[in-house]
Amino acid sequence: MTEQAYGYFDDQRKEYVITSPFTPSPWINYLGNDGFYGLISNTAGGYCFYRDPKFRRLLRYRYNNVPVDCGGRYFYLKCDDEIWSVSGRPVPTELDHYECRHGLGYSRFIASKAQIRTELTCFIPLGQTAEVYRLHLSNQGEQDKTLNLFSLLEWCLWNAEDDGANFQRNLSTGEVEVDGSVLYHKTEYRERRNHYAFYGVNQPIQGFDTDRDSFLGPYRGFERPLAVEKGQAGNSIAHGWSPIASHHLELTLAAGESQTLVFVLGYVELPVEYKWQAPGIINKQPAKRMLAAFDSDEKVTAELAKLTAYWQQLLGHFHIQSPDERFNRSLNIWNQYQNMVTFNLSRSASFYESGIGRGMGFRDSNQDTIGFAHMVPERVRERILDLSATQKKDGSAYHQYQPLTKKGNANIGGNFNDDPMWMVLSTANYIKETGDFSILDARVNFDDEEGDFDHFEHLKRAFSHVVNHLGPHGLPLIGRADWNDCLNLNCFSEDPNESYQTTERGDAKVAESLMIAGQFVLYGQEFVQLCKLTERHKLADWAQQHIDLMVGAIDQHGWDGQWFLRAYDARGQKIGSQENQQGKIFIESQGFCVMAGIGLQDGRARLALDAVNQHLACEFGIMLQQPAYSDYDKYKGEISSYPPGYKENAGIFCHNNPWIIIAETLLGRGDQAYDYFSRISPAYLQDVQQLHKTEPYVYSQMIAGRDAATPGQAKNSWLSGTAAWCFYAASQYIAGIRPDYQGLRIMPCLPSHWPSLSVTRQFRGAVYQIDIANPHGLSQGVVDMQIDGEPVPGDLIPYARYRGQHKVQVRLLPPEQG
């Protein structure tokens, strides 16, 4: 049965079109690409911030409030006795037409009511610290109409955490200035802040409000402000309490007439000496310049065109044409878009991440680069070096850092023992994409050691950190946790006030991780390759010996008979074994050990993946482990704190599904890989929108597993490593277009029913048009390649020989014909 659908893809415009303001959860989009960002829901809820969603929040947003999605960029219209919102909320009036189009970097709301059609387009122009809202109104009726329009934003008092907690102070700090049509938010500007915000419109206004309670009226919510009901602003000036910015415009539209208004919400920083224009009066020059840049429809249209061209260019680096339109739309549009968002924001600000908790995660951000390096490699280089600078001299790393200060976050500290090796992945992937070996020579200090170190030294210490932290079986010590934050084997917490993430007891010298073991072998091999490519042969030999030892330890102590063990706990007992009653098999070690090549020759890899299929795969994806933990167990920690089927306790934790997808391709099982991909990829979930609940155009962190009350229901959309990994798996392992040091490799592992596949790939300045024919219905085959009509041996397009534009023709042949 097909459930009610709340929207559909418009691939032509690269938009997702939402057809109801009452989606199962707010379906959001992101605005901004670099430094100034906004979250915007399908009813214009959300907020924006400059760089740091905790310290530089412009708009107040009430997470987890009722009604949900409370606070945003609101526009109220009053015409005769009818009041409505142009984005479908917060006024609950039913619209004659509602449509939200989330596009790449903009969102558009189209509504009609009382024969007034409105089109509101919200975006952050490239390179600007401002959100621009263009409101187009037209009278489609036969009568002239007089409309009262009210805008509304509620200011956050900058520090979002303090704003939601420290009322004894912050209800006395708010300050505003009004200058014509521009409303300024200058809270705390009198003291140490050298930044303010403003909200302007390119027309004279009839009135304004800057004090929330005056605008809303006593005990009212956003859904029915008194000022709107009266059709009259109060010209209120906020002194403390809750400052807002609301314009009141009275508009007359003749029958058939249209009008366009442009609103700009801007953020300005000034050097201390230029802060004031007169005592107590803020310097408005930069705001005026910004307003002037967007004071007409034409200027806004031109900026929107730039944004579209920017995305067109970015998405041009990888474009796929397969026989499956869902696969194409996912890879060509939404997955790459989500990759940019995860790269920018790590796990900081979404509908599920409050923007005040986490900074940039070390493991998260390193992994996010693998979905983004082909798009803006310069930013990836910078990010890797920022991460490198938060590493400590012993090779461990701060688990998170704050984007504003770029300093390691002391509250959470380190000891997540998978962290260091992710930097080998990000660095190797970056160099394969760009050929830029100079990143290895970049000077970077350690967080706790000044000196003249290069980035390569950081990778070496990352590798050494694992070597120096081995447990009783010669396997890597897990520390606080490995990739699975919730497998807390050294925590033993019995106190609900303790944090699982930071509590660690004992000397942590026993609990070991097979996930880190596989990760060490996999990225250790990358490290060895980097050593060889930079003529560090002795170091390569040394590293290889440690990898060989690790492979031996996995063979001896990490195989459970049918699959790879997950861990040894602090008492030396097995986790993820036949011997266990619950948590017999885990996904992470199957993914990482097979990706590392362990068991590929002797059949164990096949057994392990078959076991995944048998025990972990379900309709909605591959569950993290089985059977779920039914009770809390202090020797396992947070994983056993979740009700069965949710999050790490046997949920489908999408991030690790692509590890299995990649592993399947290493076995050549393209049909299975594709099947797993289609279970979690949002483009395939159009028919289960109501159940799935989160946005049908982006990956979510988790889909509830078989044991849950609601299997198939997703949570935590947008900011998940799933995005980068799914793109990496689908583009590099299913489509098999894989950057390597010497060029681009063509190593597809396709669903066998695909007769062909085309990919346009920009790579180190060249453009390859790659056409792959699969005449024998294979998944994997011998690659028979011609470049510009010339046969080329092997599966590599040698970068040095083929610059510029080239046509690459590939045929997949059965081994006997290859």
Q: How many CA atoms lie within 13 A of 238 on its CB side?
A: 31
By beta carbon distance, the residue nearest ligand BGC is 485
User: How far is the C-alpha of 237 from the C-alpha of 117, rounded, in Å?
Assistant: 32
Q: What residue has token string 């050593």?
A: 531
As measured in angstroms, the least distance from the Cβ of 362 to ligand BGC is 12
Q: Which residue has the CB atom at the shortest distance from ligand NOJ?
A: 485
x/- track of binding to ligand NOJ for residues 334-353 (CB under 6 A)? -------------x------
Q: Is 361 in the site for ligand NOJ (CB under 6 A)?
A: yes
Interior angle at CA 605, CA 539 and CA 601, nearest 5: 65
Q: By CB under 6 A, is residue 484 in contact with ligand NOJ? A: yes
Indicate whether 363 belongs to the interface with ligand NOJ (CB under 6 A). yes
485 binds ligand NOJ (CB under 6 A): yes
Whichever of 247 and 647 has its CB closer to ligand BGC, that residue is: 647
364 binds, among ligand BGC, ligand NOJ, none (CB under 5 to 8 A by kind): ligand NOJ
Neighbouring C-beta atoms of residue 715, cutoff 10 Å: 17
CA 79 remoteness from chain centre: 41
Minimum Å distance from CB 483 to ligand BGC? 9
Q: Which whole-number Å values give the CA distances from 127 to 307, 310, 350, in the listed order?
A: 10, 11, 22
What are the residue ranges of helices labelled H in 489-603? 514-533, 537-557, 587-595
CA dihedral angle for residue 614, residue 615, residue 620, residue 624, rounded to 10 degrees:
-140
In whole angstroms, the minimum distance from the beta carbon of 487 to ligand NOJ comes to: 8
- Distance CA(435)–CA(385), nearest Å, equals 16
By CB under 6 A, tell whether 664 contacts ligand NOJ. Answer: no
Nearer to ligand BGC, 638 or 664 (CB): 638
How far is 41 from 739, CA to CA, in rounded Å? 36
Report which residue type is found at 628: A
The partner in contact with residue 209, picked from ligand BGC, ligand NOJ, none with C-beta cut-offs of 5 to 8 angstroms by kind, is none
Q: Stretches 186-194, 358-366, 386-394, 625-633: which one binds ligand NOJ (CB under 6 A)?
A: 358-366
DSSP at 420: H
- 85-93, 356-364, 535-543, 746-754 -> range binding ligand NOJ (CB under 6 A): 356-364
Residue selected from 69, 131, 154, 364 as contacting ligand NOJ according to rule CB under 6 A: 364
In this chain, which stretch among 290-298, 322-330, 483-491, 748-756 interacts with ligand NOJ, using CB under 6 A?
483-491
Give the separation between CA 463 and CA 459, rounded to whole angstroms: 6
Rounded to the nearest whole angstrom, what is the least distance from the CB of residue 25 to ligand BGC in the complex?
18
Closer to ligand BGC by Cβ: residue 23 or 694:
694
Q: Which stretch binds ligand NOJ (CB under 6 A): 126-134, 289-297, 478-486, 592-600?
A: 478-486
- Residue nearer to ligand BGC on the CB measure, 398 or 430: 398
Nearer to ligand BGC, 485 or 588 (CB): 485
Residues that bind ligand BGC (CB under 6 A): 485-486, 501, 638, 647-648
The tokens describing 425, both together, are 């992945």
**Residue 648 binds ligand NOJ (CB under 6 A):** yes
Cβ proximity to ligand NOJ: between 100 and 387 the closer is: 387
Q: Kindly list the distances between the CA atom of residue 320 and the CA atoms of 4, 173, 330, 769, in Å, as whole numbers in the listed order.
A: 30, 53, 10, 10
Cis ω on the peptide bond leading into residue 90 (within 30° of 0)?
yes
Sheet holding 743-746, edge to edge: 737-740, 743-746, 796-798
* Between 154 and 485, CB nearer to ligand BGC: 485
Beta carbon nearer to ligand BGC, 358 or 811 = 358
Least distance (Å) from ligand NOJ to the CB of residue 501?
10
- Three-state SS annotation for 119-153: EEEEECCCCCCEEEEEEEEEECCCCCEEEEEEEEE
Please indicate whether residue 548 is annotated as part of the active site.
no
Q: From the list ligand NOJ, ligand BGC, none, which binds 501 (C-beta under 5 to 8 Å, kind-based)?
A: ligand BGC
Q: Spell out the residues 6+ positions from residue 573 whose beta carbon is closer than 8 angstroms to its own.
A: 635
* Contacted entry of ligand BGC, ligand NOJ, none for residue 363, CB cut-off 5 to 8 Å set by kind: ligand NOJ
User: Of these residues, 419, 485, 560, 707, which one is catalytic?
Assistant: 485
Cα separation, 137 vs 261, whole angstroms: 8
Confirm or reject binding of residue 483 to ligand NOJ (CB under 6 A).
yes
| Distance from C-alpha of 771 to C-alpha of 674, rounded to nearest angstrom | 19
Burial class of residue 685, CB neighbours in 10 A (0-12, 13-18, 19+):
buried
CB 270 within 8 A of CB 281: no
Binding partner of residue 266 among ligand BGC, ligand NOJ, none, CB cut-off 5 to 8 Å per kind: none
Neighbours of 289 (CB within 10 A): 11
Cα distance between residue 715 and residue 121, in whole Å: 28
* Count of residues that interact with ligand NOJ, criterion CB under 6 A: 9
By CB under 6 A, tell whether 480 contacts ligand NOJ.
no
User: To which H or E segment does residue 156 belong?
Assistant: strand 145-158
Residue with tokens 């040394």: 542
Task: Choose the one of ligand BGC, ligand NOJ, none that binds residue 483, judging by a C-beta under 5 to 8 angstroms depending on kind.
Answer: ligand NOJ
Q: Rule CB under 6 A: which residues touch ligand NOJ? A: 347, 361, 363-364, 483-486, 648
Residues annotated as part of the active site: 485
